[in-house]
Amino acid sequence: MAATAILSSRDVPTTFNYYAPIGTEVPFQYTYKRPDGQPQDNIGKDTRPAVVHDARGKEAELGLSLDTSGFQFVKHESVEKDFINEDRIKEVYYKEVEELLKKEVGAKRVFIFDHTIRRKPSDNAAPLEAQRGPVERVHIDQTYDASVRRVYRHLGDDAERLLKGRVRIINVWRPIKNPVAHKPLGVSDWRYLDREHDLVPSRLIYPDKEGAVYMVKYNPQHRWYYLSDQTPSEVTLIKCYDSEVDKARLTPHSAFPDASASPEAPHRESIEVRVIVFDTE
């Protein structure tokens, strides 16, 4: 972070945890406790300083959109407020997300494959349960190849036909209950990413299948944004894959510490819904 940088009142000097290798094996992460007692992952931490710029009111000026920067901030009121009941989330909120994406990104067909609710982990949570707090590691949820495999996994006989059209994977991220103070979500502009150097595929190992995510190596050219005091009626759309190569194809993202946040402010709660978006029926 240059000493001469001029910060607006809501830009945040902070740090991000980038990828560092441990050993020589291909990066991996287990999503469940390994029965052999071996390490859950071999992903180290390279903590680097950065400034996260407040995008509020400057989205158009900065050219921030799903197709240019890889993320977009959208106003959207949900009838859901607490996100406690899993059945109601799937029956009510999923429909809201589907309509939102049809309106905002022109989706003709959507497939929601999961969601994650993040709250401050309890002190007595098991290690893997504790990961449901904000993720403080720069990453992208899918690699390019894993995104295509996911379409085949979920869409079955329709996959081949749908993959001939444009396919995107978009996370719909929303705060719960209160404006975000602690551990806001930072998103990194695709236009400042070195796609050949910065992205590191990592195996994501489940009990019954295997996926892959991108870890991200540090690059001083990265440019980070967030939405100050983001409320539950403000959604961040995060692109994790796009089959069109002349558009922004993905967005590195991570929670980050904000030392200026009031200690009395509520801890962050959020929900992210992960969606495959098709431009054809």
Taking the whole predicted model, whether its pTM rises above 0.85 is answered as yes
Strands 43-54 and 185-188: unpaired
Exposure class string for 188-216: b at 16+ Cβ within 10 A, else e:
bbbeebeeeebbbebbbbeeeeebbbbbb
pLDDT in tens, 10-64: 999 999 999 999 999 999 999 999 989 999 999 999 999 999 999 999 999 999 9
Question: What pLDDT shows up at residue 132?
Answer: 77
Residue 8 banded pLDDT, cuts 50, 70, 90: low
pLDDT in tens, 57-97: 999 999 999 999 999 999 999 999 999 999 999 999 999 99
Question: What pLDDT shows up at residue 4?
Answer: 42
DSSP secondary structure of 42-79: -EEEEEEEEEEEE-TT-HHHHT-STTTTSEEEEE---S
The single residue listed with the structure tokens 């071999």 is: 42
> If you average pLDDT over residues 122-126, what whole number do you get?
49
pLDDT in tens, 211-224: 999 999 999 999 99
Residue 144 banded pLDDT, cuts 50, 70, 90: very high
